[in-house]
Amino acid sequence: MASHRRPKPPSRTRVTVLTATAAAAVALSAQSAHADPRPSKAEAKAEVDKLYEEAEQATEKFNGAKEQHDKLQKQVDELQDRVARGQEELNKLRDGLGSLATAQYRSGSIDPTLQLLLSSDPDTYLEKASTLNQLSAKQADTLRLIAAKQRALAQQRKEATTKLADLESTRKALGERQREIQGKLAEAQKVLNAFSEKERAEITGSDKGADGAKGTGGKSGGDSAGTGGSSSHPNVPAGSGRGGAALGAAQSQLGKPYHYGATGMASWDCSGLTQWAYGQAGVSLPRISQDQANAGTRIYSQSQLQPGDLVIFYGDQHHVGLYAGNGQVLHAPRTGTVVRYEAMGNMPFQFGVRVG
């Protein structure tokens, strides 16, 4: 006869283990379903290129704010120096009248009008003819001079206060631009961290890993299709005039790393390099690329470019380099790269600028 005993129920421990295992499996499955897969190299390149371009746009805004900040700082320093010198001159004039008042007091013949020394507004007294009649010509001239000095000092202090407020505003703008740049670079690095160092170099088209290893001086062998990579040194034709001299100066900086806001000599950003290069040729260029775009005669046909001409890229003109001949630009590209030659076609060319 078959046994009709009921199967033994599972122990509480076994039920707990099974439940936990099932829950973990469901959680892992849900995680898998919602986890973002690693992007392809093409997708990563598109995202990183976009972030680097936005970082460079912010860099030129940073450079503009920095230039304005430095200009305002110089103006504030000059105003404060003028106020200090004016106050010193005013104190000497007051001391002179004070000595005269002391002498008159001792002789018992103090002129009551010298109470002007106690006033912060000598003009009030000078407006009264009766007061002026009691003053010697020298005393009246001195008081007029004091009044003029006080007016000038008041105006200079007011101007300095306004400039200080403007200076504080530019400091805030600098901080905002810096945070924006760093945020874009951090986003790009987050994308790149999913790849090996070799893959990162392929994605960024850099001469070094995006984590900061030293570059090779721009000798990356040749253009890599779709990567925006640097080209090998082109056969650069000899330049002439100031443009040729600027190109020669820039060539001495090949291999130095890009860093936003940098003006040399250890590192450069795009407009910092071109400004310095032309400075070596005896030409003073503005600091930012948008202003450099207006520093000479514009040339819209690439076939008319000459070595050393400035070349402007992107619709908002946020990138600049030096034409190196044979369809090449010498420039400081972006974070993770070094000063190098690159094919002009890797970026949207806008126009060239012939300086001087």
Residues assigned a catalytic role? 270, 319, 331
Distance CA 180, CA 154 (A): 39
What 3-state DSSP class applies to 162?
helix
Tokens (6 digits) for 343:
């094919």
- Rounded to 10°, the helix 197-204/41-107 angle is 80
What 3-state DSSP class applies to 240?
coil
Element (H, E) at 350: strand 349-354
Distance CA 66, CA 95 (A): 43
If one counts every other C-beta atom within 10 angstroms of the C-beta of residue 117, the result is 15
| Composition of the chain by helix, strand, coil, percent to 5 | 55, 10, 35
In one letter, which amino acid is 232?
S
42 CB contacts (<8 Å, ≥6 apart)? 226
CA quadruple 77, 78, 81, 82: dihedral sign: negative
Distance CA 268, CA 256 (A): 7
Task: Identify which of 219, 199, 256, 228 has the alpha carbon closest to the alpha carbon of residue 52.
Answer: 228
Q: Are 290 and 59 in contact (CB under 8 A)?
A: no
Chain centroid offset of residue 58 CA: 8
Q: Are 265 and 250 in contact (CB under 8 A)?
A: no
Distance CA 132, CA 126 (A): 6
Element (H, E) at 340: strand 340-343
